[in-house]
């Protein structure tokens, strides 16, 4: 639009002002936030909105956050305030207050009374490193209950933490999750799992020798390495057939990576599974797309640790997203890392006890099997099985829908529930929590939990299956280095070009504006 004289300029400005006034009047009663980030980082998920909508009383959030923080923590504080405003925008029952306890003795005492302790932090002041006492926590109060987030140092997983705490405050009738080990000699440590489940479930151990209590809503079962008492299997069958839910982690081979030994498991647990059309093979699945182990190699006069790929630790990113059941559990998951899994085969001739079987995830189409002469060495020169890949994907997890409403989820990794095994891996924990939520009919946090997964390693995603199979380890490392360098270069060049382009457009715009003003006042 070209403004030719003073009168047209007045009309233009007047119309613009009128438009702004109308826009403000409309927005006053029709508030909306626009989040243009790829993963909607600054917007609450539907899960969080559903949780907040269940509030029937005042939720007060007291944030104890120090002033004068380093820049990275200052950004965290701003993000925290933004996301709390989102919660407040969803419900009128939410209110929050920021406090800087170090400025007031009474506030310090109140913060510590609420369970927020100061932390020591190094900061640069006047060209000197000093140690400061800072507060970085928050307290959520609802009715007569309290939840604490004692330390907030980053924005990662913040919405999940807050929504989990709110859910815990609102949830009156917590469901009970039980855990049973079929290996009565070597009981797995499950501290990591219990700390997560206790946030919004009741979590308790179940003795395999006794009848399963009726108040157990979901039973987690860590697999056997030898025969199981008949009474225990009968209890599991009765529990499952009564409409209850079981998650069983069971492999076909018992492995010891320290001794590099493995042997097939001989157990009647496989007969139990066959009743539900699931057959766990006495083999190990290998995958070219895999995790690493540390091995010692000689470098001159020294022995150095080096990370080498280990096909017995398949990186699973092939999920069944077409089935409604599996799409809920693996929603937005990026990967899972089972350790020494076995192949699962599904009997297509349905027994009278089974209504449906759904595959949850498989290995890649560059897989292999080790069925005898088990060799666990990570050295391809010593272990020829590491080169015998190229087979189609193998089923590693499935869920059986039992007639009567029960469900049996099977993961072919016996150590998936243990601290030393699967639960030491964050991605596995996300999957397991999703699985428990699904089995407990409590799906509020599934999409939110998966939303926080951000692992996208370039060295895993960029090599094709053919390259993983044909290239040597040194060739793979060199190719991955080249890929990383290209991405680093792109990250430098593309933003620079965008800035230059924006600057050029800005200069042109200002030049055109100057010409318009010159025409008006000449």
pLDDT attached to residue 480: 63
pLDDT attached to residue 5: 56
Domain range annotation of the chain: 1-32, 46-169, 174-281+323-363+392-454, 486-522
- 316-359 confidence digits (pLDDT tens): 998 887 777 877 888 778 899 999 999 999 988 888 899 999 99
pLDDT attached to residue 466: 59
pLDDT attached to residue 4: 55
46-169 and 174-281+323-363+392-454 agree in CATH topology: no
Provide the 3-class DSSP secondary structure of residue 393.
coil
Q: Which CATH architecture has domain 174-281+323-363+392-454?
A: 3-Layer(aba) Sandwich (3.40)
pTM reported for the whole predicted model: 0.74
Backbone angles phi, psi at 90, to 5 degrees: -75, -40
Supply the CATH classification number for the domain 46-169.
3.40.30.10
pLDDT attached to residue 295: 76
- 12-44 confidence digits (pLDDT tens): 667 777 777 776 666 555 545 555 455 555 678
Q: Which residues pair with 5 in a beta bridge?
A: none
Structure tokens belonging to residue 144 = 């007569």
Low-confidence ranges of the chain (pLDDT < 70): 1-13, 23-42, 123-127, 297-302, 450-481, 483-485, 487-492, 495-496, 502, 509, 513-522
Q: Which residues pair with 280 in a beta bridge?
A: 344
Q: What is the distance between the alpha carbons of residues 62 and 74, in angstroms, rounded to a whole number?
A: 18
- Give all strands (DSSP E) within 135-239, no chain letters: 136-142, 145-149, 176-181, 202-205, 218-222
């Amino acid at each position: 639009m070209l403004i030719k004289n003073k009168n047209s300029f007045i009309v233009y400005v007047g119309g613009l002002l009128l438009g702004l006034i109308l826009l403000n009047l409309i927005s006053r009663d029709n508030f909306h936030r626009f989040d243009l980030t790829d993963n909607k980082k600054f917007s609450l998920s539907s899960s969080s909105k559903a949780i907040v909508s269940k509030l029937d009383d005042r939720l007060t959030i007291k944030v104890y956050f120090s002033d004068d923080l380093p820049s990275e923590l200052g950004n965290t504080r701003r993000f925290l305030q933004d996301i709390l405003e989102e919660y407040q925008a969803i419900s009128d029952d939410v209110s929050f207050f920021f406090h800087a306890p170090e400025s007031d003795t009474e506030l310090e005492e109140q913060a510590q009374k609420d369970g927020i302790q100061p932390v020591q932090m190094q900061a640069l002041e006047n060209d000197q490193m000093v140690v400061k006492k800072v507060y970085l926590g928050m307290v959520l109060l609802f009715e007569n209950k309290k939840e604490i987030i004692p330390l907030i140092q980053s924005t990662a997983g913040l919405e999940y933490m807050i929504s989990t705490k709110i859910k815990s405050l609102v949830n009156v009738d917590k469901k009970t999750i039980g855990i049973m080990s079929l290996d009565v000699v070597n009981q797995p440590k499950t501290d990591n799992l219990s700390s997560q489940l206790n946030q919004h479930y009741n979590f308790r151990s179940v003795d395999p020798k006794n009848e399963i209590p009726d108040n157990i809503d979901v039973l987690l079962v860590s697999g056997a390495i030898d025969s199981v008492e008949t009474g225990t299997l009968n209890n599991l069958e009765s529990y499952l057939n009564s409409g209850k839910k079981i998650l069983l982690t069971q492999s076909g081979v018992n492995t010891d990576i320290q001794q590099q030994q493995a042997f097939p498991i001989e157990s009647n647990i496989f007969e139990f599974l066959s009743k539900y059309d699931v057959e766990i093979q006495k083999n190990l699945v290998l995958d070219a797309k895999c995790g690493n182990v540390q091995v010692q190699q000689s470098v001159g006069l020294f022995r150095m640790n080096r990370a080498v790929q280990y096909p017995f630790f398949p990186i699973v990113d092939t999920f069944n997203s077409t089935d409604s059941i599996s799409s809920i559990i693996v929603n937005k998951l990026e990967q899972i890392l089972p350790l020494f899994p076995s192949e699962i085969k599904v009997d297509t001739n349905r027994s009278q006890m089974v209504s449906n079987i759904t595959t949850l995830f498989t290995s890649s189409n560059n897989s292999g099997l080790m069925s005898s002469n088990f060799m666990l060495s990570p050295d391809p020169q010593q272990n020829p099985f590491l080169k015998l890949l190229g087979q189609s994907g193998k089923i590693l997890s499935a869920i059986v829908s039992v007639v009567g409403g029960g469900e049996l989820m099977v993961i072919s990794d016996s150590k998936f529930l243990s601290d030393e095994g699967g639960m030491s891996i964050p991605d596995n924990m996300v999957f397991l929590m999703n699985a428990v939520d699904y089995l407990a009919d409590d799906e509020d946090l599934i999409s939110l939990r998966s939303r926080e997964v951000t692992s996208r390693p370039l060295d895993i995603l960029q090599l094709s299956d053919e390259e993983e199979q044909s290239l040597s380890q040194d060739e793979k490392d060199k190719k991955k280095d080249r890929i990383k360098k290209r991405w680093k270069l792109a990250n430098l060049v593309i933003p620079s070009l965008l800035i230059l382009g924006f600057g050029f457009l800005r200069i042109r715009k200002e030049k055109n504006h100057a010409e318009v003003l010159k025409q008006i006042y000449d």
